């Protein structure tokens, strides 16, 4: 099986600060891959390089066999790579439905249409309503996005990414700042949408319960370098990891 996403010796430094060091790993179709690591380990920066936000200093990032390095974010997104952000990235003054509808319209390449009201674009609206339903946000559809709770805003962010029908979805700390109940719900939802939308997932998370619960593979980053890689069980019993990272929590 060929990997869906393959990092090949990616390097990045901000001045003297090495945020990504010789990073190589592969994610295969259908996989749920977790990336963990302490604050400032370079997890978000890695996502930024994958999505064309930052240019790696060297190395290749292959997605479906194509090198993404040097492509614009727009081009990368169009290849089927979606992303939800650490801080929910939504359109605060639009309704929840319109947030997702906009993404659906963008996905259908309908955003140049300037005559029929967006509410009358059935295909996009139906897609958006379906996504709202799978996220359990259908009750909130008419509210303005900024009025949502923090947790629902993070879900909405995922919903926007879903509307673009990605094959690979990057989630940056999907449960950050959520209450325990919201965490439970989000964990369940992520499992559901993965099946429903046939996704490969790469997620960054600090909540270890969630990581060891749903991930197939786990990668541990420390100061930009790959400290360990393996199944949740392997990582849990990896002494280096326990010492360097989990040690703080135990």
Partner 1 sequence: MDFSFLLTQMVSGLTLATLLFLVASGLTLIFGVGNVFNFAHGSFYMLGAYLGYQVVTVWSLNFWFALLFAALGAGVFGALIECLVLRRIYGRANEGGFQILLTYCLILIIDDLVKLVWGAEYKSISRPAGFSGSLTVGDIAIPSYNLLIIAIGLVVVVASWWILNRTRPGKIARAAAVDREMLGALGINVPLTMTVVFGIATALGGLTGALAAPLRTVTPGAGIEVIIDSMIVVVMGGMGNFWGAWLGALLLGEVNAFAVAFVPEWATLFSFLVMVVVLIFKPEGLFAPRTTRKV
Partner 2 sequence: MGISDMKSLCNGNTLGWGALILAFALVPALMTSQYQLNVACNVLIWALFATSFNMLWGVTGMLSFGQALYYGVGGYAIGLTVTYLGSQWYFAAFAAGLLFTLVLSFLLGLLVIRVGGVYYTMLTLAFGQLAWQIMFKMYDFTGGDDGLQGITLPGLLADKVYYYYFVMILVLVAVWVLKRMAYSPFGLILRGVRQNPNRVRFLGRRVRRNQLRIYVVASLFATVAGALMAGVDGSVHTDMFFWTTSGEVILMSVLGGISHFFGPFCGAVVIILIEDIVGAHTEYWSLLIGSIIMVMVIGFPRGLVGGALDVAAKVRAILQGEKHDDTTLTAGLGK
151 part of the interface to partner 1, by CB under 8 A: no
Q: Which structure tokens are listed for 207?
A: 């909540």
Span near ligand ATP by CB under 6 A; candidates 43-51, 59-67, 97-105, 180-188: 43-51
70 part of the interface to ligand ATP, by CB under 6 A: no
What would the x/- binding string for Mg ion be over residues 56 to 95, using CB under 5 A?
A: ------------------------------x---------
Closest CB 106 distance from partner 2, rounded Å: 4
What would the x/- binding string for partner 2 be over residues 139 to 158, using CB under 8 A?
A: xxxxx---------------
Instruction: State the Rg of the chain over Cα.
Output: 18
**Dihedral (Cα; 225, 229, 235, 239), 10-degree rounding:** -50
247 part of the interface to ligand ATP, by CB under 6 A: no
What would the x/- binding string for partner 2 be over residues 53 to 72, using CB under 8 A?
A: -------------------x
87 part of the interface to ligand ATP, by CB under 6 A: no
| Burial (Cβ within 10 Å: 0-12, 13-18, ≥19) of residue 180 | exposed
Residue nearer to partner 1 on the CB measure, 93 or 213: 93
E-strand stretches of the chain: 5-14, 17-27, 32-36, 58-63, 66-67, 81-84, 168-172, 200-204, 217-222, 225-230
Most distant CA pair in the chain, distance: 62
Residue nearer to partner 2 on the CB measure, 124 or 218: 124
Q: Beta 5-14 vs 17-27: how paired, if at all?
A: antiparallel
Within 10 angstroms of residue 151's Cβ, the number of other Cβ atoms is 20
Give the interface with ligand ATP as residue ranges (CB under 6 A).
Answer: 14, 17, 19, 37, 39-45, 86
């Amino acid at each position: 099986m060929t990997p869906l996403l393959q990092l090949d010796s990616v390097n990045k430094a901000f001045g003297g600060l090495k945020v990504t060091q010789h990073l190589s790993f592969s994610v295969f179709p259908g996989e749920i891959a977790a990336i963990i690591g302490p604050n400032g380990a370079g997890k978000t920066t890695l996502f930024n390089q994958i999505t064309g936000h930052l240019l790696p200093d060297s190395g290749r990032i292959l997605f479906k066999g194509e090198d993404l390095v040097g492509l614009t974010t727009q081009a990368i997104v169009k290849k089927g790579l979606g992303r939800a952000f650490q801080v929910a990235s939504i359109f605060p003054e639009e309704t929840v439905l319109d947030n997702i509808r906009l993404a659906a319209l963008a996905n259908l390449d309908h955003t140049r249409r300037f005559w029929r009201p967006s509410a009358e674009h059935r295909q996009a609206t139906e897609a958006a309503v379906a996504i709202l339903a799978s996220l359990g946000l259908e009750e909130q559809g008419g509210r303005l996005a900024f009025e949502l709770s923090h947790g629902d805003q993070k879900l909405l962010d995922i919903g926007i990414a879903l509307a673009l029908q990605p094959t690979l979805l990057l989630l940056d700390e999907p449960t950050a700042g959520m209450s325990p109940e919201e965490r439970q719900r989000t964990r369940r939802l992520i499992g559901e949408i993965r099946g429903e939308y046939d996704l490969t997932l790469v997620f960054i998370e600090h909540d270890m319960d969630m990581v060891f619960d749903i991930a197939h593979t786990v990668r541990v980053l420390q100061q930009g370098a790959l400290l360990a890689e393996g199944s949740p069980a392997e990582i849990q019993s990896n002494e280096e990891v326990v010492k360097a990272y989990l040690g703080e929590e135990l």
